[in-house]
Chains A and B, each alone.
Chain A
Amino acid sequence: MLKIRGLKKSYAENEILKGIDLDVKKGDVITIIGPSGAGKTTLLRNITTLESADSGKIEFENIQGDYSALTRQETKKLRQSIGFVFQNYNLFNNKTALQNVMEGLLTAKRMPKQEARTEALKALERVGLLEYKDQYPVQLSGGQQQRVGIARAIALKPKVIFFDEPTSALDPELVGEVLQVMRSLAHEGTTMVIVTHQMRFAQEISNKIVFMVAGRVVESGTAQAVFENPRAERTRQFLAETLVQY
């Protein structure tokens, strides 16, 4: 469904992404893991056009081309077919939970207000926040804000949702509720690409793991293969370092 080939990005002289390939199929839950500074965030931001990649092929829906030559129309189409959940939630502070979720439906999808409201309420219900619909972001806990962030993404019915460390800004006791929502999305067949340091969670819900170091994919495969039988020495080392914390 989404195919990325040779994605490259440099900041000044630093090449942060050195040619990344990624295949996402419908229903996939892919988790990207790797040490800090590997370029995971940069990868998500470049795939989703939050930043403009230097080069790299993309095939998605009816878009077929190179990141360096995406037209305005293609960029728009791409953005409308993907969702993004941010590490810092990035909710619209001047809007209530419900309005946050409705915003994209009203503007990008040009949905009539009533219909948008119904859709938004459904999305809020899926993340368990129906009774918080009229609260503003400041009135919500971090976990609740992130769930609104997820509702905002799913309401638009994207083909694939990208999550950049959705729980790493949260107090430990609030992590669970967000992971629970993501778990249920996964069970409902939502296509997701996740960056997280929650290894247990990654192992549990992903059907594919991508391990990245210094702008390259070192290893990728099923969760079982990567976690239990890593081929690369670097992967083994990383897993040993991170899993020891649990």
Chain B
Amino acid sequence: MLNTDFMLQVAKATIKGVPVTLEIVIVSLILALPISFVFALLRLYSVKGGNQFVKLYVSFIRGTPIIAQILIVYSAFPSLLASFIGKSAFAIDPINYAYIVFTINAVASLTEVFRSALQTVDRGQYEAGTMVGMTSSQIFRRIILPQALVSALPNLTNITLGLVKNSALAFIMSVKDITAIAKTEAAFNYSFLEAYLVLWVYYLIISYAAELIFKSLELYFGRYRKQVKKRHYSNKEQLISVTTDKRRSPAQG
């Protein structure tokens, strides 16, 4: 049977890693969002040079396993830094390298997300904006961007969940996240299954919380996409057309 006392002990020890895992996820996201947004714009507006660079960057990062990226950053950066600032480079908290890798990684996928999200807003709305006299930047800020961000949210959720899961690899860079702590506990007590089950539950909770947060953001900011349920139907036919046809509601007044 499972040793529940030990599991509780692991749970207690591992909880210290939760903020570290969350930090990796949140910091990387916060750094990656603006960068990838700019990258997406460079692509969309075919900015000379920038467009090529971003294209290359994205296929470069997406075409290599994250573990390779971790190994490269973790072996290259400290010595690279050392050549500038000397030995103190090796004393830098390794979590900073985690931020770098996961940001680099998230930027690649987020760029594509923003690019397609910005394209989901049809050109007609842009034209309507110009015809009421709005400037391009007003249309972008007030019409296109808000809609693009909402349509990016589902993909943003997926990328965040991927980030949560990938952050488990940070232990390779000797970051003390939940995986690292659980591994240590497991090895110390020779109870691997128990420790990893606890770990599993932690990731489940974190992922679920992240999903919940994004879902509510989507509900709140995407409320303009929701058809309000009409409360009174004069006959069955109307009910059918309300549920099958998203764009038209037959109830007039």
Contact = CB atoms under 8 A, between A and B. Distances in A.
A92 B249 contact: no
B246 A104 contact: no
A138 B225 contact: yes
Contact of A90 (B124, B223, B225, B247): B124
B131 A107 contact: no
A71 B95 CA distance: 54
B250 A94 contact: no
A93 B224 contact: yes
Interface string B103-133: 0000000000000000000101101111111
A88 B250 CA distance: 18
A48 B131 CA distance: 8
Contacts of B131: 48, 50, 79, 82-84, 153
A135 interface: yes
Nearest to A75: B130
A93 B250 contact: no
A50 B225 contact: no
B248 interface: yes
A156 interface: yes
A171 interface: yes
B227 A142 contact: no
Max count, chain B CB within 10 A of own CB: residue among A88, A103, A109, A149: A103
A80 B131 CA distance: 7
B227 A107 contact: no
B124 A92 contact: no
Contacts of A224: none
Interface in A40-56: 48, 50
B224 A136 contact: yes
B134 A103 contact: yes
A156 to B, nearest CB: 6
Contacts of A139: 227-228, 249
Given A86-B127, A107-B142, A139-B228, A93 B132 contact: no
A138 B246 contact: yes
A76 interface: yes
Given A152-B132, A156-B132, A50 B127 contact: yes
Given A86-B127, A93-B125, A94-B224, A108 B134 contact: yes
A81 to B, nearest CB: 9
Interface size class of chain A, counting residues whose CB lies under 8 Å from the partner chain: 35 or more
Contacts of A142: 247-248
Nearest to A79: B133
A200 to B, nearest CB: 23
B158 interface: no
B250 A107 contact: no
Max count, chain A CB within 10 A of own CB: residue among B132, B138, B250: B132
A140 interface: yes
B228 A141 contact: no
Given A136-B224, A138-B226, A92 B133 contact: no
Given A107-B138, A135-B228, A139-B228, A94 B133 contact: no
B146 interface: yes
A79 B130 contact: yes
Given A84-B131, A91-B125, A153-B132, 8 more contacts: A50-B127, A50-B131, A86-B127, A94-B143, A94-B146, A107-B133, A136-B224, A149-B128
Interface of A: 48, 50, 76, 79-80, 82-84, 86, 88, 90-96, 103-104, 107-109, 131, 135-142, 149, 152-153, 156, 171
Interface of B: 122, 124-125, 127-135, 138, 142-143, 146-147, 150, 223-228, 246-250, 252-253
25 contacts: A50-B127, A50-B130, A79-B133, A84-B127, A86-B127, A90-B125, A92-B128, A92-B143, A94-B143, A103-B129, A104-B134, A107-B132, A107-B134, A131-B253, A136-B225, A136-B226, A137-B224, A138-B225, A138-B246, A138-B247, A141-B250, A153-B131, A153-B132, A156-B132, A171-B248
